A and B are shown apart, each in its own frame.
Chain A
Amino acid sequence: MYLIAEFFRQLVEDYPRWNFIWMYEPVQQEKVLSGIWMTIQLSVACLFFSVIIGIIGAFLQGSRNAIVRMVVQGYIQFFRNTPPYVQLLFFYFALGQFTPTYSPDGWLEVPIISNVGWAIISLSFFAGAFNVEIFRAGIEAVPESTREAASSLGFSRAQTFRYIVFPLAVRVSLPALNNNLVNLVKTTTQAFGIAVPELLYQSVTIWNDYPSALYPTMLLVFVVYIVLVGVLVMSMNGWERQMRIPGYGL
């Protein structure tokens, strides 16, 4: 460890623009690590909730109630057709004003939803809107005749959805879902706008304090995202392979 730190200390002596400060200074290192960790947490939470929103939304879109379908449609239009960054600011600054607060020590007023909470909510709804469309396309790809076969065997509507339509729809949806989730992970950088201490936020504070660390830190941000998205894509592909049905087109 000591040798590595010494190497980077020497490097900045020889090449002043390449200050890998977080390789030898504990405070900056701590910032980078906590930033990466926050990015991972943010990504995982948003992936999870956006998929849940997608499933529920797609199920509701098949509702017989026209009002329910209209609400879902309105949700999709709003979140798909407006910039995610503006949505985030709106959630945090506009809706954030109306959220109740609590007081841990009798002095401070802390809103029950933090900026991290708002980032998760806003990004999940944003990506969820696309997921609804993705799952809906998958559901529509399941032939009516397959559903009829299930109902003629006595399956209820809910059983048909759960055991037949949904498993088939997921397989059809996976490639498109894959793309959307990759975009979502990258979009988490926008949480920077409401001071969520994720990787980009921490990186900017580092290079503001140490302009000599600009190039190395940007490089770091790229590398971290390449690795994170790479892991996501690999696990999605693995999942896709595992779900492949022998003799079926997917």
Chain B
Amino acid sequence: MVSWTEKDPIVSIKDVHKSFGALEVLKGVSLDVMKGEVICIIGPSGSGKSTLIRCINALNDIQGGSIHVRGIDLTDPHLNKLELRKKVGMVFQQYNLFPHKTAIENVMMAPLLVLKEDENEVRARARDLMKKVRLEEKENAYPGELSGGQQQRVAIARSLAMSPDIMLFDEVTAALDPETVKEVLVTIKDLAQDGMTCILVTHEMGFAREIADHIYFTDNGVIVEHGPPETFFTKAKDPRTKDFLSQIL
């Protein structure tokens, strides 16, 4: 299992099939992500982007194919989900903060309860993270007292508190108004520049073009086209990709 080295892909997805009942949502998806890479997944609504990204931290199980994350085999029936989730952080479209905890408590909770770390250490780290997402003055605010963009940045800090190797972002700016989108994107960009491996589902084409090392376009459960941003955005070959890009750009 853990024969993983940095020369291997940190996330390796091979021919993954996923169905909800009779509905097949992923129909053989393969992709590799190297450590430190930033990849963006784009595609029309319902094409299976969220489903795919949720498979990477085992929120969804898969019916065929394989996924390895840092050498951990996700199809192993004895999969230790805790070990996996220590390595993979996830940020959701709707933030999903814990509404009864203050911002800093949200950030501290998992390290305290899951990693059982020392409270003072965790607090110091949480403070640093709040600073990193530019919210040091909002430490004691409750999620309901924060704007959408601020909540999303707390959610990012909360994931980072577990010191993951990989971050998953599922349309994290889709619920935000245009002015606050930027503050969240800046935070993600900082992370990417620090060398975090990031897998993003996004509709922000300009952003994808700017930060992605590689872009994947999905439609109807398959990857139709992929490539580095320069070629992807200018030399797309598949008619579905062209059609999608022409509507969005």
Contact = CB atoms under 8 A, between A and B. Distances in A.
Interface of A: 143, 145-146, 148-156, 159, 163-164, 167-168, 171, 245-249
B233 interface: no
Contacts of B142: 245-248
Nearest to B96: A149
9 contacts: A149-B92, A151-B59, A152-B88, A155-B114, A156-B82, A246-B142, A247-B143, A247-B146, A248-B100
B158 interface: yes
A152 B87 CA distance: 10
Interface of B: 57, 59, 81-82, 85-86, 88-90, 92, 94, 96-100, 109-110, 113-115, 141-146, 155, 158-159, 162
Contact of A148 (B59, B99, B144): B59
Residue among B89, B97, B141, B144 facing the most chain A CB atoms (10 A cut-off): B144
A139 to B, nearest CB: 14
Nearest to B115: A154
Given A149-B90, A153-B109, A159-B114, 5 more contacts: A148-B92, A151-B81, A153-B162, A156-B82, A247-B142
A34 to B, nearest CB: 43
Given A152-B59, A154-B85, A248-B144, A164 B114 contact: no
Given A154-B82, A168-B99, A245 B162 contact: no
Nearest to A170: B100
A78 to B, nearest CB: 34
Nearest to B93: A145
A205 to B, nearest CB: 49
Top 4 closest A-B pairs, CB basis?
A: A247-B144, A149-B96, A247-B145, A153-B110
Given A163-B113, A248-B144, A152 B57 contact: yes
